[in-house]
């Protein structure tokens, strides 16, 4: 059995190449079926995200050349266009890579937690399709356990390292629980979409999204049980907003000091968190001088993010140490699998001897022989037959100078021997 990882990710390939080898969910059953049909492939799983596509394989041999060929055939690509972007890991390095991916150590954003959920989805797909068995199944279970340990024992995910997440973290610090708060998000690009997702995940009570193209605002808001408005409707909704996050491409401020001051009149000193992550700024800087306004710029957040990133990098070192230990543990378990056929054969051998002696004992009982005498004979014969071959072979090996078998025998049967006698 040989564990192999073959993949492509954001470090090795641009997004247009990554997109060419992505596996949408509806293609996974066919893909995994084809993979398992290849010579020597015993188990297969596929992890496919926007930043990576990876194949997790258990093979009969170390030969991996057929896998890139299959990947190109499946996606109708020329091998020369894909080969420079591929990487391969084998055995312990394959285990190390998978553990690092699950822990977020190989992600574009260090320590991000989404990849673990995506890996669990990959595992469930493979499990449902039946493309994994003992080895890869155990590897996934070990991976999830290690990822949980890293999240628990290190600070790898405790500090926000994206602007959107940092903004939401500020909201949590100021308001605590968010289910009774209202958020006004201005813009509908990626930063606002990420902020909306984080707010929704934190249980945001009400969400309003304002955008120049109102249809885009409606579409985005619908994903998070909110509603969309046009930019010129902001004055009518600003007073209800406890949290304002803005990121547009406007060349002039969207929120002026005058507009915000008017909205504060009806809020009766309830605080407002305003986060401006636009360049140039969407919120006039002197809005910060108003009472009950907490205004943060993108530069404020970047300082927080840089501090947090340093914290995550320190935690990543701790995570790597955990992974070192866990790779060794998993590889020790895989080596133990080599003993399974011998253990099974020995148990079958012992059971066959026991069955033969038991048959004799039953016949003796039916013929009227006393039970104590039958039991004594059964025990004596079974001990002799179980120990005969090992003892004969042990003497022969020692006579040939193979004294190491003595230590093996003593270890296997936990024997205490006084060699001085």
Alpha helices in 214-287 (DSSP H): 214-222, 234-237, 257-265
- Residues with Cβ within 8 Å of 89's Cβ and at least 6 positions away in sequence, in order, are 4, 5, 96, 97
Q: Report the relative pairing of strands 41-48 and 52-59 from DSSP bridges.
A: antiparallel
Taking a C-beta distance cutoff of 8 angstroms, is the pair 21, 77 a contact? yes
Radius of gyration of the chain (CA): 33
Give, in order, the Cα–Cα distances in Å from 311 to each of 133, 160, 207, 249, 307: 38, 10, 31, 32, 6
Superfamily assignment of 163-305 in CATH?
A: NAD(P)-binding Rossmann-like Domain (3.40.50.720)
| String of DSSP letters for 30-96 | HHHHHHHHSTTEEEEEEEE-SSEEEEEEEESSS--THHHHHHHHHHT--HHHHGGG-EEEEHHHHHH
- Structure confidence at residue 227 (pLDDT): 93
Determine the pLDDT at residue 318: 95
Give the containing element (helix H, strand E) for 2.
strand 2-9
204 burial (CB, 10 Å; 0-12 / 13-18 / 19+) is buried
Active site residue 50: yes
Give the number of other Cβ atoms within 10 Å of residue 254's Cβ: 21
Rounded CA-CA distance 366/379 in Å is 18
The pLDDT, as a whole number, for residue 72 is 95
Going from the C-alpha of 110 to that of each of 55, 68, 296, the distances in angstroms are 22, 28, 24
CA gap 263, 276 in Å, rounded: 18
**What CATH architecture is 2-153?**
2-Layer Sandwich (3.30)
Prior bond of 280 cis (ω within 30°): yes
* Strand ranges across the sheet with 2-9: 41-48, 52-59, 2-9, 87-90
pLDDT at 122: 96
Q: Write out the two tokens for 327.
A: 């790779």
* pLDDT value, residue 240: 95
Per-residue confidence (pLDDT) for residue 190, from 0 to 100 = 80
pLDDT given for residue 342 in this prediction? 87
238 in Cβ contact with 184 (< 8 Å):
yes
Around Cβ 395, how many Cβ atoms within 10 Å?
11
The answer to whether 2-153 and 163-305 have equal CATH topology is: no
Query: What is the maximum span of the chain, computed from C-alpha positions, in angstroms?
Result: 110
- CA angle, 162 as apex, 196 and 219 as ends, to 5°? 25
Closest CA to 29 of 126, 132, 140, 119: 126
Question: How many CA atoms does the CB half-sphere of 18 hold within 13 Å?
Answer: 17
User: What is the model's pLDDT at position 53?
Assistant: 95
pLDDT given at position 50:
77
**Tens-level pLDDT at each residue, the chain (421 residues):** 789 999 999 889 987 888 899 998 899 999 999 999 998 999 999 999 878 999 999 998 766 679 999 999 999 999 999 999 999 999 999 999 999 999 999 987 788 888 999 999 999 999 999 999 999 999 999 999 999 999 999 988 776 667 777 888 888 888 988 999 999 999 998 889 888 988 998 899 999 999 999 999 999 999 999 999 999 999 999 999 999 999 998 889 999 999 999 999 999 899 999 999 887 889 999 999 999 999 998 888 877 777 777 888 889 999 999 999 999 999 999 998 888 788 888 899 899 999 999 999 999 999 999 999 999 999 999 999 999 988 888 888 888 898 888 888 888 888 888 765 5
Q: Report helix, strand or coil for 133.
A: coil
Say if residues 133 and 43 touch (Cβ distance below 8 Å): yes
What is the model's pLDDT at position 306? 77
pTM passes above 0.95: no
Q: Which of 107, 103, 92, 3 is nearest to 51 (CA)?
A: 107
3-state helix, strand, coil in the chain (%, to 5): 60, 15, 25
User: What does the block give as tokens for 304?
Assistant: 């927080």
Residue 292 is given by DSSP the state T
Length of the chain, in residues: 421
Residue partners of 166: CB distance under 8 A and separation at least 6? 160, 301, 304, 305, 308
Provide the token pair at 350: 């012992």
Residue 278, helix vs strand vs coil: coil
The domain limits of the chain are: 2-153, 163-305, 345-412
- Out of 50, 72, 344, 391, the active site residue is 50
């Amino acid at each position: 059995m040989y564990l192999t990882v073959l993949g492509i990710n954001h470090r090795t390939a641009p997004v247009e190449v990554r997109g060419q080898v992505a596996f949408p969910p509806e293609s996974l059953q066919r893909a995994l079926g084809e993979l398992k049909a290849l010579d020597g492939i015993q188990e297969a799983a596929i992890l496919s995200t926007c930043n990576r596509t990876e194949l997790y394989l258990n093979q009969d041999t170390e030969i991996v050349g057929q896998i890139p060929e299959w990947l190109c055939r499946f996606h109708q690509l020329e091998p020369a266009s894909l080969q420079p972007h591929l990487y391969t890991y084998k055995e312990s390095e394959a285990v190390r890579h998978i553990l690092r991916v699950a822990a977020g150590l190989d992600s574009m954003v260090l320590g991000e937690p989404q990849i673990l959920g995506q890996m669990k989805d990959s595992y469930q797909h493979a499990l449902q399709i039946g493309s994994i068995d003992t080895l890869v199944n155990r590897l996934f279970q070990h991976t999830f356990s290690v990822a949980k340990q890293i999240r628990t024992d290190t600070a790898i995910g405790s500090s926000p390292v994206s602007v959107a997440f940092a903004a939401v973290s500020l909201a949590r610090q100021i308001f605590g629980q968010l289910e009774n708060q209202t958020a006004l998000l201005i813009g509908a690009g990626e930063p606002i979409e990420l902020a909306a997702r984080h707010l929704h995940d934190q249980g945001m009570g009400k969400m309003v999204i304002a955008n120049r193209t109102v249809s885009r605002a409606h579409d985005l808001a619908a994903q998070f049980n909110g509603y969309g408005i046009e930019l010129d409707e902001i004055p009518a909704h600003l007073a209800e907003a406890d949290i304002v996050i803005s990121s547009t491409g406007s060349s002039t401020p969207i929120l002026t000091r005058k507009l915000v001051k008017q909205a504060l009149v009806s809020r009766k000193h309830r605080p407002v968190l305003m986060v401006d992550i636009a360049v140039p700024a969407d919120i006039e800087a002197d809005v910060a001088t108003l009472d009950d306004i907490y205004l943060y710029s993108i530069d404020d957040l970047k300082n927080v993010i840089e501090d947090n990133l340093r914290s995550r990098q320190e935690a990543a070192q701790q995570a790597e140490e955990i992974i070192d230990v866990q790779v060794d543990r998993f590889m020790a378990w895989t080596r133990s699998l080599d003993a399974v056929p011998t253990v099974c054969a020995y148990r079958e051998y012992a059971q066959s001897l026991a069955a033969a002696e038991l048959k004799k004992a039953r016949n003796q009982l039916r013929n009227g022989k006393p039970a104590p005498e039958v039991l004594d004979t059964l025990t004596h014969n079974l001990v002799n037959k179980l120990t005969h071959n090992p003892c004969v072979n042990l003497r022969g090996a020692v006579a040939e100078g193979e004294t190491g078998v003595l230590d093996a025998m003593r270890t296997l049967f936990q024997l205490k021997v006084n060699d001085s006698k």
